[in-house]
Amino acid sequence: MAMTIHVDIVSAEQAIYSGTAESLIAPASMGEVGIYPRHTQMLTSLKPGEVRITTQSGEEEAIYVSGGMMEVQPHMVTILSDTAMRASDLDEAAALAAKEAAEQALKDRQGEMELAEAQSQLAQAVAQLQTIKRMRKKGR
């Protein structure tokens, strides 16, 4: 039997995923990180993107996170995110509209706060679209 690690992914509204996995890949602020059972302890911020979980059965579960924090313990990973949803629940039309709105806000910006918020919204929309594109490639 393969070694496993327990994974919990929680958004501000609800628990999105809780279960055992063989591994996971997360969009850490310093780049994608792969986590396997008995990984050393780590605490890192996450950028918007896709968390890919390989389950015990070998299937891959994809979950979009808008950013957040990830805590890694040798036998457990916890991801806390403002927004998290299964990749299959993403709405491509809404993500495209959000991307266009963020790009327009970047053009029309007035102050530093508006710039930072528009950049954040653009990053989230682009990450959602990349997640959708990746799912299409895999035929899901």
Return the CATH number at 20.
Answer: 2.60.15.10
Domain identity same for 82 and 95 = no
Contact 18, 8 (CB under 8 A): yes
Same domain, 57 and 30: yes
User: Do 60 and 100 belong together in one domain?
Assistant: no
Query: What's the pLDDT score for residue 10?
Result: 95
Q: Are residues 13 and 56 in the same domain?
A: yes
pLDDT score recorded for residue 93: 83
Contact yes or no for 11/48 (Cβ under 8 A): no
- pTM, rounded to two decimals: 0.78
For the chain, what percentages of helix, strand and coil (3-state, to nearest 5) are there? 35, 40, 25
For residue 32, the enclosing domain spans 5-87
Residues 67 and 115 in one domain: no
* Model pLDDT, residue 87: 80
Predicted confidence at residue 140, as pLDDT, reads 55
- Give DSSP secondary structure letters for 110-128: -SHHHHHHHHHHHHHHHHH
Domain match, 79 and 129 both: no
Q: Please identify, among 87, 105, 130, the residue that sits at the C-terminal boundary of a domain.
A: 87
Domain total of the chain:
2
Is the domain of 68 the same as that of 106? Answer: no
Question: What is the per-residue pLDDT across 84-96, written as a single tens digit (0 to 9) for each?
Answer: 888 877 777 888 7
pLDDT of residue 106: 75
Same domain as 129, residue 62: no
Say if CB 50 and CB 64 are below 8 A apart. yes
Residue 110 has pLDDT above 60, yes or no: yes
Same domain, 21 and 35: yes
Does residue 72 share a domain with residue 23? Answer: yes
